[in-house]
Structure 1
């Protein structure tokens, strides 16, 4: 079985931007303290610098799948329809069946090919070129960019936030995927019944803007390495998880080994 890459598809060493530094300690919130420890465990990086439209496509490909599947699909798409600065123009005229076949490794390829092609047509209708779309993402008001991206069919909050972070380099953006949603509620830094948007709002309110980028990617990696959905490391004892003392372990029964969704644990 293939293993997950050692970096998040939208971040890591090729995530754009430059290495970041911060001074851990004197945290204003427990959420910030957790992000600092995650920063020590994994990479610390400022984000931005990716081509906006390519980042949008990359994030659509990553929806509901792992990096193992979406990375080769992205590579195949760029190899066939790139370069990035012309991607929207090329995809607009692409044969839909050929596009679906090209990205088949990512799963849900018929739906994703439709979303990607419609997003390409939308970007050209609204902005005239891939370059103009990229400039909009990088230079316009973040709230306006987010609202505009959310108006595109098939683009949800996590996708919009990833574009803001990895292409726009916007501080204070903490995209919430399934890992972040699970971990934040399990640790107790977001309400146990919070939906993805409520988790995002809770973390962004508690974590300094400059720490949100690497906090997002590091929390994803922590979810893969330690805080998995079905068998979190804490079930092997306090020493098995580096953030054990920071965590409320909502939904975790360390005695019988049971794991429940935090919302279910509170309701029950």
Structure 2
């Protein structure tokens, strides 16, 4: 049933505009872009990333490693947590520039788990950011998981409520082909934003309403949250 739900979601979600406008970034740019997206909206993180590009012309490990933190802070303020994020950006940039010689070829060449571990050795870089770089840039067969994907997977009963990041990732990967990973990833995020929302999900008009067990569906009622 879960594989059928995923197939319907992929069919119903229109991600054509996203694919058309998708801009392939370098591994380092993708890392910075994803770091900026933490705890903020896509709109704000993209604005912060664009500000960095305008300010520094090229976003490279060397340029950001040598930048003043105050300069970065000002440009990424819109993304929130600008003090913490600017410090982390410089710290990561210095490691990649001085210790890795700005070399990201390993994301293509190393065995998948080894490449993943190396990315996650950077301060503040977790599973999601590493997997985004590996899948989006290097086209490696690994599914990045965000809060939308986790919520949907638990609601449809694909994974138990206490499932961790890799539990969700592996469960979905087991149901789809490697070629479907990017499409399923994007489709599930769109589905989580538009239909299977955290609060007040659009169950009556949901294309998988007839298949979904609706585990932990939260509806807003008169200022209170009620679980069904």
Q: Do both proteins adopt the same fold according to a TM-score greater than 0.5, normalized to the shorter chain?
A: yes
Match of 1:114 in 2: 87
Moved over 4 A (4+): 256-260
Partners in 2 of 1:253 and 1:65 — Cα distance?
A: 22
SS state at 1:103 partner:
helix
Match of 1:57 in 2: 32
Tell me the TM-score normalised to structure 2 length: 0.88
Match of 2:195 in 1: 226
Give the alignment partner of residue 201 of structure 1, picking from 162, 165, 170. Answer: 170
Alpha-carbon offset, residue 67 of structure 1: 0.4
* CA gap 1:253/1:82 in 2 versus in 1, 3 angstroms: closer
- Aligned residue-pair number: 220
Alpha-carbon offset, residue 49 of structure 1: 5.0
SS state at 2:99 partner:
helix
CA RMSD of aligned residues (A): 2.3
Give the alignment partner of residue 177 of structure 1, picking from 126, 146, 156. Answer: 146
Partners in 2 of 1:104 and 1:246 — Cα distance?
A: 43
SS state at 1:224 partner:
helix
Match of 1:146 in 2: 116
Partners in 1 of 2:63 and 2:115 — Cα distance?
A: 23
Tell me the TM-score normalised to structure 1 length: 0.75
Alpha-carbon offset, residue 221 of structure 1: 0.8
Task: Tell me whether 1:248 sits opposite 2:213 in the alignment.
Answer: yes
SS state at 1:206 partner:
coil
Match of 1:162 in 2: 132
Partners in 2 of 1:49 and 1:32 — Cα distance?
A: 29
SS state at 1:77 partner:
helix
Runs (5+) with no aligned partner, structure 2:
none
Q: Is the 8 A contact 1:74 1:103 kept in 2?
A: yes
Runs (5+) with no aligned partner, structure 1:
1-29
Match of 1:19 in 2: none
Deviations 1:137-159, CA, capped at 9 Å, x for gaps: 23332211110111111001111
Partners in 2 of 1:259 and 1:180 — Cα distance?
A: 22
